[in-house]
Amino acid sequence: MTDSHWTPAIETLLDDSAGVYGPQSFRDYITEIGRDPRDFRTAAEISIDRKRELADELRQNDTMVLRLGSAPDGTGTQFGLVRVEGGLDDFFIEETAFPSKQRTEINLQPDSEDVQEYDQQTQDMLEAYRYLPRFSESSLVNLSLTTGLLSQALDLDVESVGTAPVTVASTFDFSFRPHMTQPTTLPHNNGQVEIDACFVSRRNGERVLVVLEAKTGPKRSLAKHKLFYPLMSVQSEASDSHLDMIPVYLRARRQGDSVTYDIYECSPFDVGRSEQCLSDINVESHSQYRVRFY
């Protein structure tokens, strides 16, 4: 095994049938193993967005690292390691596993037939997007809402959700099981969570709460906790509303005169379930769109 800062923790994991290390302050862990915390960036080490960011030593030992909020009895942010032999992929949504197929075409070029089907207010809103030299994640989410593209992908009762969904960046407490094969529960303590979009709509006449994680750029893997943590943050309030919660992962990117969308609807999130499991997040449907804009 390569001698790295993760070696002591991995050796402990290999000797522990529970398959979980931590939670522990990352800075305190680095100090305990005789390294200088100033040589490490905590966020880069334990806040993993995609599989390629995972350290080689962790990946080679089927081990996922999870950021678990503030360390109540230590310094800074705490982390946990979860080892599942042959199960590392259970912590990621691998977009390349969903092959590209014929995309639904939407022509929003000026004076196109598709644009004329929108009311004047929506046409004016769409015009504003043409003045932007580039799109942010929030702009791409709003565009999918304004055009009704997201409503179509999720089979919502309304043709268009509108714009300006709720976004949140705050700290949250919750606990969860990291993997379906393990009974261990991990705490997320007063940790920062960002929710890219959250809105209530209806599907088949029933109220639904959509929680959305958005990314830009080419297809790649997404760590499931990027979607799971926002769901857990909303759960405590939504559980009293008897809403069905729909997790959605949206990938959008500008390509020439178009914007392409890949929309992944994931398995329904049971807000009434007392013990949620991170690895239970799985893609159930994949929709693809190409919006011609210029």
pLDDT at 1: 43
pLDDT tens profile 180-224: 998 899 999 999 999 999 888 999 998 899 999 999 988 889 999
In whole angstroms, give the CA distance from residue 126 to residue 134.
14
Confidence of residue 164 (pLDDT cuts 50, 70, 90): low
Answer whether residue 176 shows pLDDT above 90.
Answer: yes
At 82 the pLDDT is 96
The answer to whether residues 81 and 64 touch, using CB atoms and an 8 Å cutoff, is: yes
- Of all residues in the chain, the percent with pLDDT exceeding 70 is 97
What is the per-residue pLDDT for 162?
65
In sequence order, the 6+-apart residues with CB closer than 8 A to the CB of 51 are 59, 88, 92, 94, 221, 223
Residues in Cβ contact with 204 at an 8 Å cutoff, skipping those fewer than 6 apart? 157
Span 217-261, pLDDT tens digits: 888 899 999 999 999 998 877 766 677 899 999 999 888 888 999
- Cα–Cα distance, 93 to 279 (Å, whole number): 10
Distance between CA atoms of 240 and 237, rounded to whole angstroms?
Answer: 6
Of the listed ranges 16-25, 38-47, 121-130, 276-285, the one predicted with least confidence: 121-130
- Name all contacts of 55-59 with Cβ < 8 Å and 24+ positions apart: 55/4, 55/6, 56/2, 57/1, 57/2, 57/4, 57/6, 57/7, 57/10, 58/6, 58/10, 59/88
Q: Residue 36: is its pLDDT beyond 90?
A: yes
| Strand segments (E) across the chain | 20-25, 63-70, 77-83, 92-94, 104-107, 166-176, 186-203, 206-216, 221-223, 244-255, 258-266, 283-292
The predicted model gives 66-75 an average pLDDT of 93
Cα distance from N-terminal residue to C-terminal residue, the chain: 53
- Would you tell me how many other CB atoms lie within 10 Å of the CB of residue 193? 22
Q: What pLDDT sits at residue 33?
A: 95
State residue 211's pLDDT score.
94
Q: What is the pLDDT of residue 61?
A: 95
Percent of residues, the chain, with pLDDT higher than 90: 55
Rounded average pLDDT over 34-61: 94
Phi, psi of 132 (to 5 degrees): -90, 130
pLDDT at 163: 63
Whole-prediction pTM: 0.91
Query: What are the tens digits of pLDDT across the range 111-162?
Result: 888 888 888 888 888 888 878 777 788 888 888 888 889 999 999 998 767 6
Contact 235, 276 (CB under 8 A): yes
Q: In the chain, which residue ranges form alpha helices assigned H by DSSP?
A: 7-14, 26-32, 42-46, 56-60, 113-116, 120-129, 137-146, 149-154, 225-238
Query: For position 37, what pLDDT does the model report?
Result: 92
Q: pLDDT tens, 7-17? A: 999 999 988 77
pLDDT of 100 over the 80 cut: no
Statement: residue 289 has pLDDT above 50: yes
